[in-house]
Amino acid sequence: MKYHYEVSGDDFTRAGEASGAVKATLKRLGFPPEVIRRVAIAMYEGEINMVIHADGGDINVDVEPDLITMVLSDRGPGIPDIDKAMQEGFSTAPETVRNLGFGAGMGLPNIKKYTDSLDIATELGKGTTITMTVRVA
Amino acid sequence: MERILHSVTLDRDKCVGCTHCVKRCPTQAIRVRDGKAVITDARCIDCGECIRVCPHHAKKARHDTLAALENYRYTIALPAPALYGQFHNLDDIDVVLSGLIKLGFDQVFEVSRGAEIVSDATRKLMADGLLKKPVISSACPAVVRLIQIRFPDLCDHVLPMKAPMEVAAALARQRAMAQTGYAPDEIGIFFISPCPAKVTDVRFPIGDSHSHVNGVLSIADIYPKLVHEMNHLEEVEHLSNSGLIGTSWSFIGGEAAGLLNENHLAADGIQNVIRVLEELEDEKLADLDFIELSACAGGCVGGVFTAENGYVARARITRLRKYLPVSCNRAEDFGDLRALNWSQTLKENPALHLAGNISDAMRMMQQVDDVCAKLPQLDCGACGAPTCRALAEDIVRGFAKESDCFRLREGCNNDR
């Protein structure tokens, strides 16, 4: 089953709506709680990143009984150094965002931690597409 | 005999088929069918919202009556601390307890004593690092059932310990047997309850296979008789044996305060509880040590079996507890600390799963999505389901039909 969400770029309080909707759907479908938790957290981190860095974007989720695939695309500034971005605590979030409790440099590391695969395609000035999967054991 | 899974009942004559209860149910357990509210047993968590919100007082909850005392040779009243907040100008808890004796009980055993034992045991377990943090209180059975249905991933955060009522009941029976020499089944233990969820909890306990409580009386039901007895007492016996910590369990924040750990959160009201559980599920509250949740606004004093406004009751209990010692009971009073633990692991309740396996559920979800797309998304409730999506699900399950939607019936095209 395929789901599409648009993430608006200007509202922190609404980040999490897409991951919340996916979480609710997976619960009704009876996926194991552990799988749902990993999907929800990885997707939430991705949503927050889109709001902080890219003025929002699109999320496509494909739910299969044994695999959940999430593709998050934005037209933001791109990631100059992916290796650095993957380090825990490394953040380019502005002060204003950090003051809100976001941008602690745990977004991508958390996504990596909770997913079974993570692929980042990024082009400076064009945008970033993150493809991540969670396998149902 | 009919296997009754929840305590809420419907007075069909009073139900007019409006959708107040349908809309407020946190597990979407209620539908209006053929003009009357129907509850899906498997989904009901006994939170009491439908009882509270019904403008026609058509929803009630089952409870026992004082007549049940006659079935036992020896009876013990187990008053919830919320009871102490129901009376005007009460200065002494012993007046209430003496009144219960006059009402016909042979003995009283305060649930607040059980609460102090649970508080002490929780403090010890948390100090030893034996619980997964944040620890979620298991005191409110409606919250625990909500977690099993809607937040199964949090089951292992729930404090796996008997509720104060069970601790008090087990101790009371043990001691009464030693005092009287009666057999266990000759002793009747009655919880004086602010809350219908406890009625279900006694029939189908969470975490254990058997409850030590024999009956559940509603505070509101015995209230007039109890007040009469309290007003006609010849002497006040000294019966109370609990302190500030135990009595404070009656309102939200009381249990958490009893842990003497500031790093806690306390939330009340079922919708607020859901918001906290959602954040907890997303690991946004991982820094907390303890989370106290109560389905009723204000905590147990806000239960639907109470006679008095919960906030008034809280103010009275706050005044009453001023001269009480901090605590009078310790975990060791129960004997072995491990005996306080649940004997069963808390498990997910799949009542909201669309089907028994993921593939079937996905097929159904696709059908639900297709049907839902035809509905007007007004969530008006006129069909008897809480939302258009819930109606779509009912249609796919075969419990409802598209013509139940008045917009589809009238053939209006929706604009979406």
Other beta carbons within 10 angstroms of residue B179's beta carbon come to 11
CB A36 within 8 A of CB A109: no
pLDDT at position B136, please? 98
Other beta carbons within 10 angstroms of residue B13's beta carbon come to 9
Domains of chain B: 1-62 (3.30.70.20), 66-131+157-250+298-340 (3.40.50), 355-416 (1.10.15)
pLDDT at position A107, please? 83
**How far off is chain A from B348, nearest CA to CA, in Å?**
9
Give the 3-state secondary structure of chain B. Answer: CCCCCCCEEECCCCCCCCCHHHHHCCCCCEEEECCEEEECHHHCCCCCHHHHHCCCCCEEECCECHHHHHHCCEEEEEECHHHHHHCCCCCCHHHHHHHHHHCCCCEECCHHHHHHHHHHHHHHHHHCCCCCCCEECCCCHHHHHHHHHHCHHHHHHECCECCHHHHHHHHHHHHHHHHHCCCHHHEEEEEEECCCHHHHHHHCCCCCCCCCCCEEEEHHHHHHHHHHHHHCCCCCCCCCCCCHHHHHCCCCCHHHHCCCCCCEEEEECHHHHHHHHHHHHCCCCCCCCEEEEECCCCCHHHCCCCCCCHHHHHHHHHHHHHHCCCCCCCHHHHCCHHHHECCCCCCCCHHHCCCCCHHHHHHHHHHHHHHHHHCCCCCCCCCCCCCHHHHHHHHHHCCCCHHHCHHHHCCCCCCC
Closest listed residue to residue B80, CA positions, set B349, B396, B296 = B296
Contact check, Cβ <8 Å, A36/B153: yes
Which residues, 6+ apart, have CB-to-CB distance to B132 below 8 Å? B156, B157
**How far off is chain A from B287, nearest CA to CA, in Å?**
13
Q: Is the previous residue joined to B134 through a cis bond, with omega within 30 degrees of 0?
A: yes
The arrangement of secondary structure in A2-135, i.e. its CATH architecture, is 2-Layer Sandwich (3.30)
With an 8 Å Cβ cutoff, is B373 touching chain A? no
Q: pLDDT tens track of chain A, all 137 residues?
A: 999 999 988 777 788 889 999 999 999 999 999 999 999 999 999 998 898 888 889 999 999 999 999 999 999 999 988 888 888 888 888 887 777 777 777 888 889 999 999 999 999 999 999 999 999 98
Q: Is A74 helix (H, G, I), strand (E, B) or coil?
A: strand
Nearest chain A residue to B353 by CA: give it. A28
Cα(B12)–Cα(B39) distance, rounded to whole angstroms?
Answer: 13
Q: Is A11 helix (H, G, I), strand (E, B) or coil?
A: coil
pLDDT at position B4, please? 55
Is this model's pTM higher than 0.80 or not? Answer: yes
Residue to test with chain B: of A12, A29, A111, most B Cβ within 10 A: A29
Nearest chain A residue to B389 by CA: give it. A25
The token duo for B185 is 């089944």
| ∠ Cα A112 A113 A116 (to 5°) | 70
Cα(B299)–Cα(B283) distance, rounded to whole angstroms?
Answer: 25
A1, A30, A34 member nearest B153 (Cβ): A34
Contact check, Cβ <8 Å, A1/B365: yes
Cα(B11)–Cα(A9) distance, rounded to whole angstroms?
Answer: 50
Nearest chain A residue to B364 by CA: give it. A29
Contact check, Cβ <8 Å, B153/A33: yes
* Interaxial angle between packed helices B141-150 and B270-281, expressed in degrees from 0 to 180 and rounded to the nearest 10: 50
Contact check, Cβ <8 Å, A37/B153: yes
Residue to test with chain B: of A1, A2, A23, A27, most B Cβ within 10 A: A27
- The H-or-E segment that residue A82 falls in is helix A82-85
A25, A33, A40 member nearest B152 (Cβ): A33
CB B287 within 8 A of CB B276: no
Extents of the domains making up chain A: 2-135
pLDDT at position B416, please? 46
- Chain A residues in contact with B350 by the CB 8 A cut-off are 30
Rg of chain B over all Cα atoms, to the nearest angstrom: 23
CB B77 within 8 A of CB B104: no
Cα(A64)–Cα(A75) distance, rounded to whole angstroms?
Answer: 27
With an 8 Å Cβ cutoff, is A48 touching chain B? no
Nearest chain A residue to B149 by CA: give it. A27
Q: What is the distance between the terminal CA atoms of chain B, rounded to a whole angstrom? A: 49
* Interaxial angle between packed helices A17-29 and B358-374, expressed in degrees from 0 to 180 and rounded to the nearest 10: 120
pLDDT at position B239, please? 96
pLDDT tens profile A46-73: 998 898 888 889 999 999 999 999 999 9
pLDDT at position B219, please? 98
Q: pLDDT tens track of chain B, all 416 residues?
A: 344 568 888 999 999 999 999 999 999 999 999 999 999 989 999 999 999 999 999 999 999 999 999 999 999 999 999 999 999 999 999 999 999 999 999 999 999 999 999 999 999 999 999 899 999 999 999 999 999 999 999 999 999 999 999 999 999 999 999 999 999 999 999 999 999 999 999 999 999 999 999 999 999 999 999 999 999 999 999 999 999 999 999 999 999 999 999 999 999 999 999 999 999 988 889 899 999 999 999 999 999 999 999 999 999 999 999 999 999 999 999 988 888 999 999 999 999 999 999 999 999 999 999 999 999 999 999 999 999 999 999 999 999 999 999 988 887 655 54
Contact check, Cβ <8 Å, A30/B359: no
With an 8 Å Cβ cutoff, is B358 touching chain A? yes
Cα(A88)–Cα(B79) distance, rounded to whole angstroms?
Answer: 53
pLDDT at position B412, please? 60
Cα(B337)–Cα(B126) distance, rounded to whole angstroms?
Answer: 13
With an 8 Å Cβ cutoff, is B89 touching chain A? no
